[in-house]
Amino acid sequence: MKEDWYPELSYSLIGLAYDVFNQLGYGYHEKYYQRAYAQELTAKELPFKKEQLVKIQYNGQSIGRYFMDFVIDDKVVVEWKVASEFYGKHIKQVLAYLRATNLHLGLIILCAKEGIRIKRIAN
């Protein structure tokens, strides 16, 4: 398993997340961090899809769907969370997104009182 997918892109995405958090600080809903992040992605001219729909297929039929916060450059899934720590459900959620899309790298951006933290998830 290759765990260092897209190092330059992922470092850039992480840097933008710190920019957003450093300007906004702690205490907002996820949607506001997501909106600010979208502005940063646009300013850096990074191609992205926001709230990307992913359908789960079984025997050729749709059995469910997900909405991912961001898919950057058709390579990296980015999920924003406001929480005190990374929970198993956050990791499972991103792993499911990666499996459903056949992408290799996900980033969970966690906003906590203590600051921002990042978890890289490799598929």
Question: Is 49 within the bounds of a domain?
Answer: yes
Split into its structural domains, the chain has a count of 1
- Quickly state the pLDDT bin for 21 (edges 50, 70, 90): very high
Q: Phi then psi for 63, rounded to 5 degrees?
A: -120, 0
Over residues 17-27, the mean pLDDT reads 96
Tokens 């499972």 identify what position? 92
E strand intervals along the chain: 48-58, 61-72, 76-82, 105-112, 115-122
Question: Is 1 within the bounds of a domain?
Answer: no
| CATH code at position 36 | 3.40.1350
Over residues 58-67, the mean pLDDT reads 91
3 state SS of 14 = helix
Tell me the pTM: 0.90
Question: Is 2 within the bounds of a domain?
Answer: no
Q: What is the mean pLDDT of the chain?
A: 93
Q: Are 98 and 54 in contact (CB under 8 A)?
A: no
